[in-house]
Amino acid sequence: MQAHRLVPGARSDILLVCDHASNAVPPGVELGLPDTLRADHIAWDIGAGALAEAVAARLGVAAWLGGWSRLVVDCNRPPELAIPEASDGHAIPGNRGLGPPARAERLALHAAFHQRLAARIAATAPGLLVSVHSFTPALASDPAPRPWPVAVLWNRDGRAADRALAALRADCEVGGPVGANQPYSGKILNYTMDRHAEANGIPYIGFEVRQDLLADAAGVDRWAAILARTIGRVAAELR
């Protein structure tokens, strides 16, 4: 498996990106975690990869999916923070005390993900980037419930985010409050969109969908329809 997987699409005006689509671990990498934690939200955004593919299929656009667990290397963090030693209160033993060669191999995956994504954007010139993530209903380290079924994240450029928030809040299928930079703030956690959208002046939407709503195919299909409607409306308004 490479640092990314491209789901092709006929249209090039919109590109979907899902950094945390996989919980795969490369051969030879030992994280020192039980399988239960490697399947947990700390290892990937549960349901987000399937959701990104389903949205891409509905819109006929491409999706750029991360190929490795974010515990191996987190492509939505700057390189100096991309190899976590702990996540949601769980230590990652295999990431502690990495020597320079092992660290360089991990960071090469991060570089490949972003360099090839940049090349794709340069070649196809999308007018809208869409980042797809999911979040856990409650953190183990902070068990306060997170009531938002969906949220929109952004940093400085709110052109697409403002329109997406309005579209979601008007959509009777959403079924709950729409978070604006909740439960995470795009002012802080926005590396991929900062690098590829904000730095290039490309409008973008960062979606967060609660993972329990993506637990089966029906849930993924329902949210794919909602996000596809939202993206279509935003793209039309931006044009």
SS (H, E, C) the chain: CCCEEEECCCEEEEEEEECCCCCCCCCCCCCCCCHHHHCCCCCCCCCHHHHHHHHHHHHCEEEEEECCCCCCCCCCCCHHHCCCCEECCEECHHHCCCCHHHHHHHHHHHHHHHHHHHHHHHHHCCCEEEEEEEECCCCCCCCCCCCCCEEEECCCCCHHHHHHHHHHHCCCCCCCCEEECCCCCCCCCCHHHHHHCHHHCCCEEEEEEEHHHHCCHHHHHHHHHHHHHHHHHHHHHHC
Q: Is the pLDDT of residue 203 over 70?
A: yes
pLDDT grade, residue 142 (50/70/90)?
A: confident
Give pLDDT tens digits for 26-42: 999 999 999 999 999 99
Q: Quote the percentage of the chain above a pLDDT of 90.
A: 95
Average pLDDT over residues 8-28: 96
Q: Is the pLDDT of residue 156 over 90?
A: yes
**E strand residue ranges, the chain:** 4-7, 11-18, 61-66, 86-87, 90-91, 128-135, 150-153, 178-180, 204-210
pLDDT of residue 55: 98
Average pLDDT over residues 115-127: 97
Return the DSSP state at 93: G
Average pLDDT over residues 127-138: 97
pLDDT of residue 170: 97
pLDDT of residue 141: 86
Average pLDDT over residues 40-60: 97
The second-level CATH assignment, the architecture, of 4-238 is 3-Layer(aba) Sandwich (3.40)
Cis peptide, bond prior to residue 183, ω within 30 of zero = yes
pLDDT of residue 1: 64
Average pLDDT over residues 212-233: 98
Average pLDDT over residues 87-106: 94
Q: Is the pLDDT of residue 80 over 70?
A: yes
3-state helix, strand, coil in the chain (%, to 5): 40, 20, 45
Domain boundaries, the chain: 4-238
